[in-house]
Structure 1
Amino acid sequence: MDSTLLTDNWQQVCQQVVQASKQAGHEATDNVTLLAVSKTKPAEMVATLAKQGQRDFGENYLQEAIEKIATLKNQPEGEEIVWHYIGSIQRNKTRDIAEHFDWVQTLERDIIAKRLNDQRPDNMAPLNVLIQIDIDDENSKSGCRPEELSELIGTAKSYERLQLRGLMIIPAKDDTDAFARTQQLFESIKQQHPELLAWDTLSMGMSDDMADAIANGSTMVRVGTAIFGARE
């Protein structure tokens, strides 16, 4: 994909986010973050969008992501990249994730939270963390069960190198009210845990359903194909 088409795609998605925000009645359209999912795409494409103003990029594949992060670590002022890890987390991945990323969106177990905390370098800001929720209660899907959420928050909030920011979901395609249920869960946690001062992020919605997600309170949408084209 050439840079002109890539930029056009990105601008179109940005406009869709703005439009969905207005339809949802948000007073400010900048309260929904566009996360550009750049997995399998080269660093050059990321750099092109960073130059246009895109800041947040999501990666699933750790080794591929680390190579991109190294390639793009010296971005010009104003084009700095915020890296989000959105893949599954095994124990042997936690050190690399803790050392390279700004955000993790797929926390689901305390043992992973503890390892990320212990392995986060002291010279880096606390790692922003979203807890992935299995909102559909599907055994085959990653995520913390809703009934297990309070216990996980109770332990993870004490980790000084982590900053709990909110929730992330990947709902089943036929679950029409998953977004609404997740928003209710997000708000209930905010009320139950007023000490979570940075609890402000609800990551839900992708290319096909981001307008519905934004209407139900999403503050971050994860879009890959509509920006970058089909995966390699």
Structure 2
Amino acid sequence: MTPQPTDNYMVTIAERLTSAYARIAQAAKNNHRDEQSISLLAVSKTKPADDVIAAYTHGQRQFGESYVQEAVTKVTALADYTDIIWHFIGPIQSNKSAQVATHFDWVQSVDRTKIAKRLNEQRPADKAPLNVLIQVNISLEEAKSGCHPDELMSLAEFVNQCPNLCLRGVMAIPAKTDDAQLQLQYFEQLSACFDKLKAQYPQVDTLSMGMSNDVEAAIAAGSTMVRIGTDIFGQRN
């Protein structure tokens, strides 16, 4: 049975979603950009299917998940909502790649050829190619996922040659910082990576950067997709 939202969820999440879109619109205006060129990915990880439905009811269609088992349960429960676009945005373990390849429309966290190869081989034949963003470790943190910026073009070439994958752009989660200038610098570096990729691959159109705490800086630097979770669904447990 498909779960249904409660009125409380719907009102709260609807209001927060409206605020998130208004924030994007204002940031776009401040930077002389078309707000329609920036999409919102609602990060629903750790949140129940009811919350996804509440956002869906308010018009949201793109949702991001980071934990494979939880995500697959949610995707399956909401299978009747056929126009939801599911993005996997977390680290991909080899033993979970088949589930990611099967259940998602986009993967934003491809950072090595081994994972790209597995996703390509495991993508079901009856599904469209899996949209891929390459995750770049733009702030060069030792413990963070993402390829080194210098490895981006070779990984992109590999992904582009995979028939069951479609290279769409880049993603990053820069180091948290209260230094607004450094924050902007990271985003501008990723934007330069995106421009370089786009110049070589005409289908590349997505620069995924910016979250609840740094949307404005990301949009100023050219983001085409911001990933917002807490500001829509509330704090995670």
User: Deviation at 1:156?
Assistant: 1.4
Within 2, Cα distance between the matches of 1:138 and 1:49?
A: 33
Shift of 1:140: 1.1
**Conservation of the 8 A alpha-carbon contact between 2:191 and 2:221:** yes
Match of 1:73 in 2: 79
Distance across 2 between alignment mates of 1:2 and 1:231: 15
Identity of aligned residues (%): 47
Q: Does 1:216 align with 2:221?
A: yes
Q: Map 1:41-190 to 2 at 5 A.
A: 41-75=47-81, 80-174=83-177, 175-176=182-183, 177-190=185-198
Q: TM-score, normalised by structure 1?
A: 0.94
**Which position in structure 1 is the counterpart of 2:45?**
39
Counterpart in 1 of 2:208? 203
Structure 1 position 2, deviation (Å): 2.8
Output the CA distance in 2 between the equivalents of 1:12 and 1:216.
Answer: 21
SS of match in other structure, 2:134: strand
| Conservation of the 8 A alpha-carbon contact between 2:9 and 2:54 | no
Look up the match of 2:5.
none
Q: Can you list the C-alpha shifts for 1:107-129, whole angstroms capped at 9, x where unaligned? A: 00001001100100111111000
Q: Deviation string for 1:19-56 (max 9, x for gaps)?
A: 11111211x31111100000111101101111111011
| SS of equivalent residue, structure 1 residue 2 | helix
Measured in 2, the distance between the counterparts of 1:102 and 1:184 equals 26
Structure 1 stretches (4+) deviating beyond 3 angstroms?
none
Structure 2 distance, partners of 1:182, 1:67, is: 33
Where structure 1 has 5 or more consecutive residues not aligned to the other structure, the ranges are: none
Query: What are the superposed Cα offsets for residues 207-228 of structure 1, whole Å, 9 maximum, x if unpaired?
Result: 1110110110000000010000
Aligned twin of 2:3: none
Query: What are the superposed Cα offsets for residues 55-106 of structure 1, whole Å, 9 maximum, x if unpaired?
Result: 1100011111111111111127xxx210000110011011000000000000
Among candidates 7, 12, 30, match of residue 5 of structure 1? 12
SS in 2 for 1:54: coil
Letter of the aligned partner of 1:31 in structure 2? S
Write the distance in 2 (CA, Å) between the matches of 1:181 and 1:152. 18
2:102 maps to a residue whose letter is E
What's the C-alpha RMSD, in Å, of the aligned pairs?
1.1
2:231 to 205, 226, 230: 226
Letter in 2 for 1:81: I
Aligned residue pairs total: 225
Q: 2:85, 2:47 → 1: CA distance? A: 16
Q: Distance in 2 between matches of 1:19 and 1:198?
A: 28
